[in-house]
Amino acid sequence: MLEIKNLHVKLEEEEKQILKGVDLTVEAGKVHAIMGPNGSGKSTLSYVLSGRDGYEVTEGSATLDGADLLEMEPEERAAAGLFLAFQYPVEIPGVGNMTFLRTAVNAQRKARGEEELSAADFLKLVREKAKSLKIDADMLKRPVNVGFSGGEKKRNEILQMAMLEPKMCILDETDSGLDVDAMKLVAEGVNALRDEGRGFLVITHYQRLLDHIKPDVVHIMADGRIVKTGGPELALEVENNGYTDILAEVN
Amino acid sequence: MALPDVKQSATEARLATLRMPEAGCTRDAREAALARLRAMGLPGRRDEYWKYTRPDTLISPEPPTAEVFHTDEPMVFDGFDRLKIVFVDGVFSPEDSDDLTLEGVSIDRLEDICCKDIHWAKQLYGVLEERGQTPVQRPLAALNTAFAQDGVAIHVTGKPSKPISLIYRHESESSDAILHHVIRVESGAEVTILENGPAAARFNKCIEIDIADGGTLHHVRAQGRDHQRRAATHMFTRLGKESVYKSFTLTVNGVLTRNEQVVELTGDDAVAHVAGACVGDGDFHHDDTVFITHDAVNCESRQVFKKVLRNGATGVFQGKILVKAGAQKTDGYQISQSLLLDDDSQFLAKPELEIYADDVACSHGSTSGAIDETALFYLRSRGVPAKEATNMLTLAFLAEAVEEIEDEALAEDIVSRLEGWLARHS
């Protein structure tokens, strides 16, 4: 589904290479996790895939079901089925959460040549999805993420994911800033979306999240490359011994 | 002190083109206003109060011509049940207007007042304008009082069932309209005043509003799309005890607009909100000049002004809160912000506070900025196309000002006008 080949990325404004040849394939129905120390390029990878400004791809490719992601505008990537759950969800004063969700859902449907959801159908759907994430009516009415707690913001990301039903979900440190209960709730939301047609890329520092969202494959990223790939046991190894041993072994 | 020659000759040149109408009971006020005007002279570029806005075309003997804009789209407020008072190029049009009878209010034409020796409006005509000349001079308002050709006197004694809608049509490319309205809201009475339309090639309009204890006046104005029109407007409002004044103005297009609001809170526990949202593209200059005087205890004032500017448009905000000695427990708030959609547009702001009481809460802020790139990316990453996302963020920026309109249906109508503008200009 998601195929990244030899991806090299530098900052647009300065001569700083962040990704130095990332190779990664996420198959439909699988959950891949990327772990790695601070500054290894994990978040950059998620931003480059979703099309944020400020980065320059100098080499390599990234495709989603064969379509060249790097050629697309961010909204085209979204319509093609890519979703990024932000590490720091953005507050947008003056835009109601519900309006935002409806605009996004319908914009994607329109881009794919599907019919827009009626107000009634949308409302029914959003209420149902919100309920399972314990998002109340008030949170839906408030401006996007404004005044939300850390947990509420992350739940709101998962709600967007549930509404947009993307093919490929990237979760960028979705566990950061969450207490255990909130993390469980978020993980349940993600697990509910797991199915054969959908791929996940879960970026995290910690094994904890992976107790709740069980990965099929775990990658270790360091200095802009994937340096080791293994099964879930790799995450446990990191949890017990830190990155030092793994990195020493690789080097 | 004698006026500088340049100023005096500019003033006399303008006066030469004006004729004072049959004055009736407003004669004294008009003559006094003319004397005031001669003493202060018309505004010039060197005047501090006109530092950011060139007055030349507002004071020239003849107005620059302005093409009349036509559209088949429904006008703002069209769907609302309201009492319509229509002026065409600054002249009252009985055939386009509704019957002026409505329970809770009496409405007279200025022309009819002028024929009478005694009328309630005599107590108001030119009175608040004159009070508003200190500490800052407003010569165009004095000119208006002296030479207004038409207008209405609205006396609100109850709670009329529908808004009173002043509609200004522009039909002649060279019209030079001067309108003056007076509104008196009696104790406990409540009214909504709507205004819309481009009015004339050049429009000088003044409204004096006197709100008695416990009275309420809502004002929603939409300044329309005739691109080449020029307008200088003044609203002088005096508030009694526990009275409420809420005014909102939407401005789209217009080569030159200067809206002055002069508000005086003279009774305790009064509330005054003035707000404005403007969107300008290209050869657009919009100036909000506000002066709010707190002269009573426990009053609240809010100024919320938002401007969206692109393609070299200019926005100006001059806003002042003056808290007099003794006006304790004043709650004053002022925010002026611009969203600059490119590097060619500019926003010039001069927020001022002058406070002589020691137990007050006054805050003010002014910002200029571009679209928040992070928010834009967030919206786009959810599939919202760049243009639509920019429009969403632009409307969100204006929301705080639009929210000052209490009536939800009116607010929705204003938002739909903004959406229309965004759709046309992006």
Asked if the structure places residue B381 within a domain, the reply is no
Indicate yes or no: CB of B377 within 8 angstroms of CB of A89.
Answer: no
CA separation for the pair A78, B383 (Å, rounded): 5
List the structure tokens of A164.
């947009």
HSE on the CB side for A111, CA within 13 Å? Answer: 24
Q: What is the pLDDT of residues B347-377, one digit of tens each?
A: 999 999 999 999 999 999 999 999 999 999 9
Instruction: Determine the residue among A12, A47, A49, A92 to mutate to test chain B binding: the one whose Cβ has the most chain B Cβ atoms within 10 Å.
Output: A92
CB contact under 8 A, A78 and B380: yes
pLDDT confidence band for A112 (50 / 70 / 90): confident
Per CB-CB distance under 8 Å, the chain B contacts of A107 are: 382-385, 388
CB B426 within 8 Å of CB B390: yes
The reply to whether residue B383 touches residue A75, judged by beta carbons under 8 angstroms, is yes
Closest C-alpha to B98, from B112, B84, B80, B111: B84
CB contact under 8 A, A53 and B373: yes
Domain coverage including residue B349: 5-371+406-417
Q: Does B111 fall in a domain?
A: yes
Name the residue among A50, A84, A103 with its Cβ closest to that of B384.
Answer: A103
Say yes or no to pLDDT of B422 above 80. yes
- Collapsing DSSP to helix, strand or coil, B353 comes out as strand
pLDDT of residue B92: 96
**Most distant pair of Cα atoms in chain A: their distance:** 58
- CA Rg value for chain A: 18
- Those residues whose C-beta lies under 8 Å from the C-beta of residue B142, and which sit 6 or more positions away, are B33, B34, B36, B37, B40, B129, B133
Structure tokens at B227: 């691109």
Q: What is the pLDDT of residue B152?
A: 96
Query: pLDDT per residue over B59-73, tens digit each?
Result: 999 999 999 998 888
Of the candidates A50, A75, A103, the beta carbon closest to that of B386 is on A75
The verdict on residue B248 lying in a domain is yes
Please report the number of interchain residue pairs, chain A to chain B, with beta-carbon separation below 8 angstroms: 80
In a domain, B212, yes or no: yes
At residue B59, the 3 state secondary structure works out as helix
Convert the pLDDT of each residue in B202-246 to its tens digit.
Answer: 999 999 999 999 999 999 999 988 899 999 999 999 999 999 999
pLDDT tens digits along A14-71: 888 999 999 999 999 999 999 998 889 999 999 999 999 999 999 999 999 999 999 9
Contact B392 A103 (CB under 8 A): yes
User: What's the structural domain count of chain B?
Assistant: 1
CB contact under 8 A, A95 and B393: yes
Q: What is the pLDDT of residue A176?
A: 84
pLDDT in tens, A152-172: 999 999 999 999 999 999 999
Contact residues on chain A for B397, CB-CB shorter than 8 A: 94
Triad B405, B133, B151: Cα angle to 5°: 60
- Cβ(A42)–Cβ(A36) below 8 Å: yes
Q: Which two tokens stand for residue A85?
A: 């759950």
Residues A165, A192: contact at Cβ < 8 Å?
Answer: no
CA atoms of A74 and B351, how far apart (whole Å): 40
Rounded to whole angstroms, the Cα distance separating A156 from A139 reads 9
Distance between CA atoms of A33 and A45, rounded to whole angstroms? 13
Provide the shortest C-alpha distance from residue B72 to chain A (in Å).
Answer: 29
- Which residue type does B331 have? D
Q: Tell me the three state secondary structure of residue B26.
A: helix
pLDDT at B121 over 70: yes
The answer to whether B6 and B55 are in contact (CB under 8 A) is no
Q: How many CB atoms lie within 10 A of CB B356?
A: 12
Flag whether the ipTM exceeds 0.90: yes
The predicted model scores a pTM of: 0.91
- Tell me which amino acid residue B369 is: G
Task: Please say if the pLDDT value at position A250 is more than 80.
Answer: no
HEC secondary structure over B315-336: EEEEEEEEECCCCCCCEEEEEE
What is the tens place of the pLDDT at every residue in B72-107? 888 999 999 999 999 999 999 999 999 999 999 999
Nearest to A164 among B373, B374, B382 (CB): B382
* Chain A residue nearest residue B403, CA to CA: A94
d(CA B90, CA B168): 7
Determine, for residues A160 and B382 on separate chains, whether the beta-carbon distance falls below 8 Å: yes
**Cβ–Cβ below 8 Å for B382 and A100:** yes
Is B388 among the domain residues? Answer: no
CA distance B251 to A92: 25
Q: How far apart are CA A57 and CA B167, in angstroms?
A: 57
Instruction: Please give the pLDDT value at position B1.
Output: 63
Per-residue pLDDT tens over the stretch A163-205: 999 999 999 998 888 888 888 888 998 899 999 999 999 999 8
Which are the contacts of B237, defined by CB distance < 8 A and separation ≥ 6?
A: B128, B208, B209, B210, B211, B217, B245, B247, B261, B262, B263, B264, B272
